Structure 1
């Protein structure tokens, strides 16, 4: 049997032009299926990877433990990421730590997710290295690198013991992990009441810059607020009377 008969039909059954049309339609259909399979169910392209800085509260730790937390590779939310910044401030029961972790993930329905683990304000995840493991509470997700700090000068008043009053002096500094976090710029000694004395202290703080204003030791630096001031020699709580930035 000839491939084409005198009427141009393949094996005398299908017209060659009709056959070409059918093959063209099949090719278009296959290409359409491939496009659908290559996208998600909504027809939108797959989510793009993004990088975000996740700011986490690591709680309060003794000095030896706080010194272990440094920039570098960490395991966070079950995956390896980079800790890009550490901010330490003294409190009345230890050293408070806030850290920044650079995390790769996707944003879907306004929720940032890394390898299936959702991260949002208040989310608690483990942050681990060979030297330590701590609970990390998410307090911010943004695009800035590391911890943003700002210099703030504030005047505090405090009723302290005579021993503390004798110890406080202009130029006193407190350093954590090599960073100066507070400097005494001026001290005025006032009224004495028994073994207590009133101090007026002008201090420069290295504060964490937040949308709520500068924060130090977990407290905003605002008039009327009480801040814990500590150095290697003394510690006291003072009330903020004025603030300059």
Structure 2
């Protein structure tokens, strides 16, 4: 049989032109499949291979000497010796702990390697929350813990938080705490004292309430000032040019004590005072601390103290003491009115409670009886 007959049919059955067209279509299909297969392989290879990616990390560098903390600034860069990796500081948050130390948190931009299994690395070490990392720029070296690694965000999430703080100080130390005091680091103010109340509670101690506005960092649902959580029961450092204090957090989102300012009148009974002791009390005497008056003597009643004497026949007789007097003080207290009753010097005030009052020339620590509130 002839390969192509006189009618142009291949093997006498298929037209040559038709056969060529079929071959051309098959060739195109095969080439397309090959191209798709090659492209797919290329994309898979590109996706699966480790590659450089940018991440943003929050790193807690802990408490550093102030000299080191001063050196840490935006723009500091560390390049890895063996990998095309870099770490650049994009934000710095520092809170003084004392006159010589500060707690430092930084935000950094990282150029590291992303692996197909989800691991991200700086150099040959995994770079993830909970890991430690050392920052060595040549000018300083500091090691800290990684708090977060994220896809974006060059700045640390700051917010302003009001807190009510409390501590007990000597009278001279308490006098140093004033409204307007600022805690600063570099050019940044990280805490401002908004209110101060100073209450004498003994001859050598004053109770101090401080309302302050703190620049805090958001860490998930929590707020932190330095490394201290801003919540009731936590301890916050306030370090200014005049003092280094550690204060307990009483409340958050307020700079004022509970309740509204009010006055409460009380009576105080003082028994068997000598003439000299009794003569020290007079109307108009005040207890003053922190520039505020907390108690004022409104009235003084004085009468001879009673003494019981047994007669020769065994009978008991009450007589006036020849040298001792009983004194009743009527005192107006500056209190705070709450739904649960008055509060004085930060504590609830009830009948029979013992309070300390320092009138300058003399002091008392006795039970009080509420006359009105």
TM-score range, shorter chain: 0.7 to 0.9
State the partner residue of 1:97: 104
SS in 2 for 1:64: helix
Alpha-carbon shift at residue 73 of structure 1 (Å): 3.7
Change (3 A) 1:213 1:77: farther
Normalised TM-score (structure 2): 0.55
CA deviations 1:162-206 (Å, max 9, x no partner) are: 332121111011110110011111111113334322101111111
In the alignment, structure 1 segments of 5+ residues that lack a partner are: 1-5, 9-14
State the partner residue of 2:165: 156
Normalised TM-score (structure 1): 0.80
SS in 2 for 1:198: strand
Q: Distance in 2 between matches of 1:71 and 1:23?
A: 61
Name which of 60, 63, 82 aligns with 2:63: 60
Q: Distance in 1 between matches of 2:59 and 2:79?
A: 11
Conserved 8 A contact 1:76-1:126: no
In the alignment, structure 2 segments of 5+ residues that lack a partner are: 9-15, 255-373
Give the aligned CA root-mean-square deviation in angstroms: 3.3
CA deviations 1:133-157 (Å, max 9, x no partner) are: 2113211122222111111111111
> Residue 185 in 1 paired to residue 188 in 2?
no
> Residue 88 in 1 paired to residue 94 in 2?
yes
Alpha-carbon shift at residue 80 of structure 1 (Å): 2.0
Alpha-carbon shift at residue 47 of structure 1 (Å): 7.3
Q: Distance in 1 between matches of 2:225 and 2:178?
A: 21
Name which of 216, 229, 234 aligns with 1:207: 216
SS in 2 for 1:163: helix
Count residues with an aligned counterpart.
235
Conserved 8 A contact 1:90-1:96: yes
1:198-237 to structure 2, matched below 5 A, reads 198-237=207-246
Conserved 8 A contact 1:77-1:126: no
Alpha-carbon shift at residue 69 of structure 1 (Å): 0.2
Alpha-carbon shift at residue 218 of structure 1 (Å): 0.6
